[in-house]
Amino acid sequence: MLISRKGDWFEAIITSGQTGKTIETFLKDEWKMPKKLLHQFRMNKQVKLNNEVVGWNQLLHANDRLQAQFYFPEEQTFPPFYTELDLLYEDEHFLITNKPAGIDTHPNEQGDKKTLSNMVAFHFLTEGLQTAPRHIHRLDRDTSGAILFAKHPLVAAILDKMLEKREIKRTYIALVNGIVKQNKGTINQPIGRDRHHATRRRVSPSGQHAVTHYRVLHRNHKFQQTLVELSLETGRTHQIRVHMSHLGHPLIGDTLYGGLPASIGQQVLHAVRLQLQHPFTQEKIEALAPLPPGIFKHYESVILKQYNI
């Protein structure tokens, strides 16, 4: 679909295959606009046809120009914090950035202004955007790597649905204690809160459905360590950490779940790759996050060969 930005508005040229649809049907079918946004766009007159506000039962014809206001001023929930983002991908609709370890994805306490969301808020300001940052998924404080942010409410709603339908693929690499015997496998165990620890999670029959796939990339018998690739079907809090600990191979540096301490002072977990099909252009997007210095000290050549970073 050809769609172009015109200031705060975006314009789509109607094709022959879309003729005969009403504006409302187009918004639902082509842009997957949810009911709440449909109501908002209708009430605020954020949709035009050939530069005019018309009824949403209006039929579309080939070469019509449908315009929608994707950008509009919003309350800034994240005070901007100045820093340079390590951008892996960016266009008018969303961005993918490489989160460093040691910062939260979003504020967890009142007054916390040095999170990735605050940094993205500053980046939006430099682009003249008054929309609020929307993270589509999260990474733990001590996990680095690729993370996805939406630039406007419509693409946020679309990406949320894509994540729910497993159409956004997230690949992680981790270094775990011990030698993982199987070359690949799946951990399908529900995860719930640990009632004995405020922040800890555990495998629990009454927990939420959680599925993690793993694949061995390298075994280091000398150090009794295994480098593994992991992919998620679900996105539970601490999912990889809980599942690998349950398997008997906690992440190195993840002392909360039984891992041996690491000299770098953090768990060895990195979101190395994020893949999705662009919801508007249908382009296949693949973002690869460079490795943080030092945390995969003996395994960088294996990783670089695997992912061509």
Show which residues are catalytic.
Answer: 140
Q: Which letter does DSSP use for residue 142 in this model?
A: T
Nearest to 185 by CA among 247, 248, 235, 236: 247
Determine how many CB atoms are found less than 10 A away from the CB of residue 193: 16
252: closest CA among 142, 171, 169, 145? 142
Contact 118, 79 (CB under 8 A): yes
DSSP letter for each residue of 245-294: HHTT-PBTT-GGGTPPP-TTSS--EEEEEEEEE-TTT--EEEEEPPPPTT
Q: 10 Å Cβ neighbour count for 36? A: 10
DSSP designation for 228: E
Sign of the torsion formed by the C-alpha atoms of 239, 245, 248 and 252 = positive
Within 10 angstroms of residue 63's Cβ, the number of other Cβ atoms is 11
